[in-house]
Structure 1
Amino acid sequence: MFSRSRFLSWLHLHPMLVLTVAAVAGILLSEWLTCRPGVGLAVATLLVWLLFWRRPTLWMALPGVLFSFVFLHALRLQDTFAHPVREHLLTQPEHKKTAAVRGLLYPWVDGAEMDPDAALCEVSQLRWGQAGDWKPVKAKIKVRLPEGIRLTAPGLYEIEGPLTLPGAPANPGQFDGVTYSLRMGCIAVSQARKVTLVKEDPLDLRYRLQEAAEASRQWITRQLTQGLENAQPHAGVILAMALGASDAAGEDIEDAFRDSGTLHVFAVSGLHVAMLAHIASFGLQWLGKQRMSVFLIVLVFAYAFITGWRPSAARAAFMTAFVLAAPLLNRKSQIANTLGAAALLLLVVDTHQLFLPGFQLSFVVLLSIVLVAAGLMEMIKPWCDLDPFLPPVLATRMQRYGVRGRTFAAALVCTSLAAWAGSLPFMIGHFQTVTPVALISNLVLVPASEICLLLSCLSLLLAATSWSWAVVAMNHLNATLASVMVTWASWFASLPGANQTLDLRFEKNPPAAEFHVLQLPYGGGASYLRSGGHHWLLDTGNENNWRYVLRPFLRHQGVDRLDGLVLSHADISHVGAVPWVMSAQKVPQIHTSVLEPWKPDPPFASLKKLSLQVAPDGPVWRRHGLQETIPLTSGEVMPVTARVLHPGTDDLHEKADDRGLVLLLQVGGFRILCLNDAGFITEKRLLERRTDLKCDLLVRHQHSADVSGLTELLLAARPQAIISSNDSYRPEEALPQRLRDFCLEQRLPLFDLEADGSIGIAFRESEATLKAFKNGRSLNLRPQGQGVAPP
């Protein structure tokens, strides 16, 4: 441990790191207090710097830096979260209003991939409505280009169409696109109906640089995939590691790297910038140290720009440049000090960077490596060195090679351990995930990724010399290595305890049971049920729903393993994600109706494909007929069962929605009627059978091609509240107006998943609380007969 004097001495040796801590404190203070960048704050900042001018020491600079960043972040908040355009849209219905804007248009680049259907507009003028006055405005907005329109020339454009705010997340744990967009400086989205070029500017340097970067990416893509037409997944891995084109490899491969704790080797990050500089340094020794440093600085910035100027790559380029520039300025490079200087510079440019997980992980992990890895290496140095009683000149070649090998292995282990320890608090805080397997997987996959990047560089050098046969051979070698890396990543991810999800909600009085009806787009459906320590999913949505809604939701809930699935019917929007859920959650039980899989369905239908992997009526897949009970939990404070009300063996309807399970959930003293996609046929059949439909809560989705929500059924069910899906942009999935009118007449609370977001129901002994995720709307219920509890 440091003594006080050694600690102060260390701080004086790393002043930029100390100043960065003050800057971070200032940004957090400004965020917490939501400061306004007024005259008072500016005067206070100037007075503090006057004190520093009278006594220029490190400790006197700290208050100046703190106040300066309070002021800087206040300005950034005013330009984003408190922007007048955003505040005006917040007062509008659906946060939308027709507007026309004028500004410079640039291609929309997401990572290393350009979106041809979108553009970034740096607005200079705005006009509300069709005939208002033009007002000067400074803002950045995302523009959704009209169909068939592409951005082909730089210049000043006029864009007309509805101006909206980015959509808020509809489910717990879902990616918060609103906050991310604002942190990146984009305040709104224009759904452009008309785009007009007012004045072309062929000399727009930024546009031309982006055009050159895209041309470079396309050339690199062609060269690295030459000869790999029949090995697309592995070619995609190469492109992901070299350019950050993660979509090229596919979601399954990306999942393997994520679950093994090595996603940073799968996509362009600061690690790749450092590896590229390391690789290039071996081939540029002949330039001399100073010229090589200048060349490497240019190279890392060019690489960061070609790969889309990702924040992680940009940060690494700045840090590498600081390290390489120190000898050119006759300065000794202190890594911790350099790290602080790079962070301080990036925060001056944009204080919002501090709140991005990538920024936090980049700097804290590197700082952890600097502070921890060196200490660990000192501890195991005796194991790496030669025998102290053996003079080095007498050491054999094998002994010297042994020292190098042990030193390399020790450095790799110490660096991996330090990086994992540094990232652990942020992985837990941001992603509720711990990946112990990363301690081992990084030892294998990080060196392999550097070899993969080396082979990519050699392939590009050979392509520049027009040796096509050598390029193809090098690409095939690289694809083989990529295949091995995918196998390793999948194996590491499959190990027991490879990654763990933590429940960080820390509720003082958690409910005995909870039920969440999730909001999924395009007619999808899925619900989550927990009672005690048992976790179930009722439907899974499709693959995209699993990746972007359900999986983040389960992570947010701290769910590592599901106890089972209940699948309603063979609709891809309801059960398309079953293979991915089973793989990720190791599901031991699947429950369906007795009619599934439907024999006439084609082989590629969701449940038909599942039957090829899991035998129906076996130990995993259990099928249930009419009035059978599925025991979801037992022995809990609040047991839960599901009774099948539909279909029976004679409900042989061709349309999947008409064969969908209708379940009556019994959660303690509460009854929940789950209609799924029931339509006219199903609802009439339930009424004809004189089924007891009485419930406290009715949950429904839309039939894709039939009338649903019959008044007779609603009167027979007599729910205290209704939860319904809705998609106002697709008439066949829209919530029926008849149902809205019925709820209005009966004064029956109606929760619209599209408007309210997912609905969570917390069950306690004699009360259930419904709460909407988007707007916080809530309702208290008591079991049927006791009525609705006061809110």
Structure 2
Amino acid sequence: MSLFLPIVPALLWLIFLLSLILICLYYRLLFFTGLCCALSLWLWQVQQHQLHTQRLLSLSDPWLKGQVVSIRQQDEDFSRFLWQINEGPHQGYLVRLRWQDAPQVLGQGQHWWFKVRCKAVRSPANPGSAYVEANAYVLGLVANCVVKDAVLLEHEWDHRQQLYQRLKAKIGDLPSFSLITALTLGERPFSDELWLGLQATALGHLISISGFHIGLLFGWVYGLMLLLANIHLRLLVCRQWAPFVALAAAWYYSLLAGFAIPTLRALVALVLAVYLMQQHRRLSYSQSWLLVCGLLLLLNPLWVMSISFWLTVYAVALIFLFVWRYPLLDHSFRGRVRHAVKFQALMTLLMSAPTLLFFHGIAPLALLSNLIFVPWCSLLVIPYLLVALLLELVLPAHAVWHWQLADLVLAPLYHWLLYGAAMDYWWLLPAQTVFSALLVALLLMAVFFLPGSAPKLRLSLLLLPFVFLLWPKVVQWQLHLIDVGQGTAVLLQKGDRGLLYDVGPVYGSFNATEAYVLPYLHYQGIRQLDYLVLSHADSDHTGAFSEVLKTYPKVQLIADFQTGYPQQPCLALPAVYLDARLGSFRSAYAKPEGNDSSCVLAIEAAGWRTLLTGDISNKVETELLSAEPDLKTDLLLLGHHGSKSSSHLSFLAQVQPLFALNSAAANNSYGHPSKEVRARLSLLQIPLLNTADQGAIRIEITDQQLDIWPYRQQPLPFWLQKQ
């Protein structure tokens, strides 16, 4: 129930819940007691996180003592890493640090005194992209900070950092190096091509160290210990120590993975399993599942804000359901293979519901990929990689043959990922709501409970969700102001077709086009992008537009500056796009590049008018009104992100917008939108919708009305929409 609270309640709610707990205990209403305890614990954790965040942000460039807890990521100008405060009132909380010109000695495990300048964890909020603020609660991350000064306290790297540096120096040039580090140390320095391959083949769960890998290692070590116990009577003690040795191996693997949250969840489940084994107690599948979920939420109730938590408990529930519904009766080799194929087929099918909800598509290679590479990785790749790690610790430093063999073992997986990326095997579907995804999951899950004598009914239930998903929807115009921070990206959409005006910023290594714009297009189900309009040459508008051209190779590029690609000028835009009317304007007196050279785009769809002004100044606004003296609009994108040099009073009074839209970053250093522009809008009583406050803004355009949906003001919390 706590998931459906749109805001974090005040302290009064916590007091109210504690009172309810006492009442429920008095009347022995144990279920409601547990429910109230869970809500109280969740609220307390959230409020503690907010309290420590506010206290840290109130300090002026404080000196803090802590430990580096992640392997640093190197950008062009900055090193980025996680740092855990280990002294003072904020002890135990994490900070994400950026350090310009960081020394090469910086590594995980070191203790430092840092003088830091911090700001709140806040990022653009778009459906279809990771929600960073919810993830901060999950990780215990209280601020993003920049290192201003530093004193090194302990020089030594920890075991994980030493192994990573050793592997990078020895085998960094092997083709499968990124896969080796992903499966041994949890570090994934993947190329864009490999990321696309993981999506297209649905094998991301194999490459990210999770409960599957930890449980697999536990099973291998436990089985090996039992095998030793059967060899000789003197080794019978191995049977007694088997669960503890296997648990120690799982702990070490989690250590190598940096104790990522999925590995911690797996360790909790394994500790419970070992405890029950020692107590000679057996639980039903449902009891085991509920007990593990309860323990996980007791350890950290904020995990409910993580999509990976829900994917994990959903997948485990499916496994238990399968084992209960389809026990292995035929123990022959053929029977085991048939059982494994049935398991993979049902898991792939039933996992399609959360895939639709969170990733907005289906990988047709999923079943084949899992049938081949789940056993390949389970029986060969992961066991051998762990053996190779042990060999790395005992062999001479110059020995590389064991990693060359690992490269050969990983070659089939590596080439399969490249093949999937090259063929672009990913079926994009329009974004689904939580309700539609739950409906699909329930319909698919019904397959579990149907008798084998009802094949036609099974087939009908299998086809029904996809008929529902692919049933033609009512097509109407939509305008999307994508939240890209300090930049611009606007999508005009009808059905699965669209026109994109600017693509967001590129600042150093940060690329809003890939981080926000392309995921948003995928989320909205844009299969055909007809026009890409780059208003002018500034990097906060052009971003990584080449990535858009690569994703939509048939798009027509519109730009008035040299891009190096086939293009048409702004004034070459057609007068009619689908059933909307377009009008374009460009200053006749502006320089070839610069803000005043912006392509101004007027759109009329379903009788409603929109004006996109780029970064034009008051001078060009006056020129525009001279060329179009009767210009009116219903939606106005403020020029230059709300700068005081644009959107002057006379211009606003002439075009008379119903709503002013603005694209700017929260707490940006430019002060956009300026107080002058805000005052002009207030004087004319024009409501302002700003991405810094509302996140992405979706406007549904019908003949009768404009329906405005700001992402940050949706009734469900962001972690339910996308995490």
Amino acid at match of 2:391: L
Q: Report the counterpart of residue 754 of structure 1 in structure 2.
A: 692
Cα drift, residue 263 of structure 1: 1.0
Q: Report the counterpart of residue 239 of structure 1 in structure 2.
A: 181
Q: Report the counterpart of residue 669 of structure 1 in structure 2.
A: 607
Aligned counterparts of 1:174 and 1:325: Cα–Cα separation in 2: 40
The answer to whether the 8 A contact 1:626-1:646 is kept is yes
Q: Report the counterpart of residue 388 of structure 2 in structure 1.
A: 459
Rate the CA distance shift 1:588–1:756 in 2: closer, same or farther, 3 A.
same
Cα drift, residue 672 of structure 1: 1.8
Cα drift, residue 667 of structure 1: 1.4
Aligned counterparts of 1:83 and 1:221: Cα–Cα separation in 2: 32
TM-score of the aligned structures, taking structure 1 as reference length: 0.69
The answer to whether the 8 A contact 2:45-2:302 is kept is no
Cα deviation 1:438-465 (Å, max 9, x = unaligned): 2222122323434333342233233223
Q: Report the counterpart of residue 481 of structure 2 in structure 1.
A: 517
Cα deviation 1:83-108 (Å, max 9, x = unaligned): 7837988xxxxx96457999974445
Amino acid at match of 1:320: L
SS in 1 for 2:34: helix
1:441 to 369, 380, 387: 369
Aligned counterparts of 1:413 and 1:767: Cα–Cα separation in 2: 52
Amino acid at match of 2:210: S
Q: Does 1:631 align with 2:576?
A: yes
Cα deviation 1:115-171 (Å, max 9, x = unaligned): 865533478659xxxxxxxxxxx9946475887898999999898877x65326533
SS in 2 for 1:80: helix
Aligned counterparts of 2:115 and 2:166: Cα–Cα separation in 1: 38
Cα deviation 1:481-519 (Å, max 9, x = unaligned): 545424323544646664544432889x98932211122
Amino acid at match of 1:645: F
Q: Report the counterpart of residue 247 of structure 2 in structure 1.
A: 297
Rate the CA distance shift 1:139–1:323 in 2: closer, same or farther, 3 A.
closer
The answer to whether the 8 A contact 1:112-1:244 is kept is no
Q: Does 1:699 align with 2:637?
A: yes
Aligned counterparts of 2:513 and 2:121: Cα–Cα separation in 1: 22
Alignment of 1:439-588 (within 5 A): 439-450=367-378, 451-468=380-397, 471-482=399-410, 484-492=412-420, 494=423, 498=427, 500-504=429-433, 512-522=476-486, 524-532=487-495, 534-541=497-504, 544-554=511-521, 556-557=523-524, 559-568=525-534, 569-582=536-549, 584=551, 586=552, 588=554
Cα drift, residue 427 of structure 1: 3.4
Alignment of 1:57-206 (within 5 A): 63-64=29-30, 66-81=32-47, 85=51, 97-98=58-59, 105-109=66-70, 118-121=82-85, 125=89, 140=93, 142=95, 165-167=120-122, 169-185=124-140, 188-189=142-143
Q: Report the counterpart of residue 619 of structure 1 in structure 2.
A: none
Q: Does 1:414 align with 2:342?
A: yes
SS in 1 for 2:582: strand
The answer to whether the 8 A contact 1:111-1:307 is kept is no
Q: Unaligned stretches of 5+ in structure 1? A: 1-24, 52-62, 90-94, 127-137, 203-207, 386-402, 599-606, 617-621, 634-638, 778-791
Q: Does 1:590 align with 2:519?
A: no
SS in 1 for 2:640: coil
Cα drift, residue 270 of structure 1: 1.1
The answer to whether the 8 A contact 2:360-2:522 is kept is yes
Q: Report the counterpart of residue 787 of structure 1 in structure 2.
A: none
Cα drift, residue 221 of structure 1: 1.9
Amino acid at match of 1:698: L
Aligned counterparts of 2:368 and 2:475: Cα–Cα separation in 1: 39
Structure of greater relative contact order (alpha carbons < 8 Å, 6+ residues apart): 2
SS in 2 for 1:629: coil
Q: Report the counterpart of residue 160 of structure 2 in structure 1.
A: 217
Cα deviation 1:274-295 (Å, max 9, x = unaligned): 2333454576543633333321
Cα drift, residue 416 of structure 1: 1.8
Alignment of 1:243-258 (within 5 A): 243-246=185-188, 248-258=189-199
Cα drift, residue 39 of structure 1: 5.6
The answer to whether the 8 A contact 1:244-1:267 is kept is yes
Rate the CA distance shift 1:727–1:555 in 2: closer, same or farther, 3 A.
closer
What is the percent sequence identity of the aligned residues?
17
The answer to whether the 8 A contact 2:79-2:100 is kept is no
Aligned counterparts of 1:101 and 1:703: Cα–Cα separation in 2: 33
Cα deviation 1:656-682 (Å, max 9, x = unaligned): 655543211121322222122335786
Cα drift, residue 308 of structure 1: 1.9
SS in 1 for 2:171: coil
SS in 2 for 1:440: helix
Aligned counterparts of 1:27 and 1:689: Cα–Cα separation in 2: 53
Amino acid at match of 1:245: E
The answer to whether the 8 A contact 2:217-2:246 is kept is no
Rate the CA distance shift 1:243–1:191 in 2: closer, same or farther, 3 A.
closer
Aligned counterparts of 1:69 and 1:289: Cα–Cα separation in 2: 40
Q: Report the counterpart of residue 270 of structure 1 in structure 2.
A: 211
Cα drift, residue 244 of structure 1: 1.7
SS in 1 for 2:373: helix
Aligned counterparts of 1:27 and 1:674: Cα–Cα separation in 2: 37
Cα drift, residue 591 of structure 1: 3.6
The answer to whether the 8 A contact 2:344-2:371 is kept is yes
Rate the CA distance shift 1:692–1:220 in 2: closer, same or farther, 3 A.
farther
Aligned counterparts of 1:631 and 1:669: Cα–Cα separation in 2: 13
Q: Report the counterpart of residue 19 of structure 2 in structure 1.
A: 40
> Greater Rg, structure 1 or structure 2?
1
Rate the CA distance shift 1:355–1:534 in 2: closer, same or farther, 3 A.
same
SS in 1 for 2:616: coil
Amino acid at match of 1:215: D
Cα drift, residue 82 of structure 1: 7.3
Cα drift, residue 419 of structure 1: 2.8
Alignment of 1:371-382 (within 5 A): 371-373=321-323, 375-376=325-326, 378=328, 381=330
The answer to whether the 8 A contact 2:115-2:150 is kept is yes
The answer to whether the 8 A contact 2:610-2:635 is kept is yes
Q: Unaligned stretches of 5+ in structure 2? A: 229-234, 437-472, 716-723
Cα deviation 1:377-396 (Å, max 9, x = unaligned): 658x4xxx7xxxxxxxxxxx
SS in 2 for 1:295: helix
The answer to whether the 8 A contact 2:481-2:489 is kept is yes
Cα drift, residue 304 of structure 1: 1.1
Cα drift, residue 316 of structure 1: 1.7
Rate the CA distance shift 1:750–1:441 in 2: closer, same or farther, 3 A.
same
The answer to whether the 8 A contact 1:107-1:120 is kept is yes
TM-score of the aligned structures, taking structure 2 as reference length: 0.74
The answer to whether the 8 A contact 1:26-1:66 is kept is no
SS in 2 for 1:641: strand
The answer to whether the 8 A contact 1:109-1:308 is kept is yes
Amino acid at match of 2:512: N
Cα drift, residue 548 of structure 1: 3.2
The answer to whether the 8 A contact 2:176-2:411 is kept is yes
Cα deviation 1:515-539 (Å, max 9, x = unaligned): 11122124x3211222355433323
Aligned counterparts of 1:564 and 1:28: Cα–Cα separation in 2: 38
Aligned counterparts of 2:44 and 2:300: Cα–Cα separation in 1: 13
